[in-house]
Amino acid sequence: MDFGVLLGLAYNQFVTELHEHLAERGFTNLRPAFGYAFKVLAVRPMTTSQLAVRLEITPQGAAKTVEEMVAAGYVERVADPADGRVRLLHLTDKARALMSAGHDFHVAFERGLSAELGEDRIGALREVLTAVVARSDSPEGLARTLRQV
């Protein structure tokens, strides 16, 4: 099997298991961009326009993503204390619980692989993957393409 295909299949399997883990905990209606938006909004609330700039997506794409996150109960719009006409996007407790569950999965997935294959092998795998990503002039650009999958 080609190396690139193997990497892609491994990523798809990881995402499948992550979504199963989250669904078992009641987190559904997830879109690929949600996780990236959650990470940005966890740092600080911002407007939909600011989120679009930060995620490097169109304002229309950000507006659609925000509508989906609001409808799913992950984000709420709150009046900016400095300017009541401006609506800031805030993560809900549900979104923060989702992020925590996702983090727990990431940790458990890597620990499980380490237990199955050995810490040295997983450490080496992590080094290889880090080296592949480091070859990019724009690691953020790589993340942007993941958001579109």
Q: What is the pLDDT of residues 92-147, one digit of tens each?
A: 999 999 999 999 999 999 999 999 999 999 999 999 999 998 898 876 655 655 54
Domain 3-147 has CATH 1.10.10.10: yes
Q: CB atoms < 10 A from the CB of 64, how many?
A: 15
DSSP helix/strand/coil, 5: helix
Q: CB atoms < 10 A from the CB of 52, how many?
A: 19
Q: How far apart are CA 5 and CA 146, in angstroms?
A: 15
Angle (nearest 5°) at CA 9 between 33 and 12:
30
Q: How much is the pTM? A: 0.83
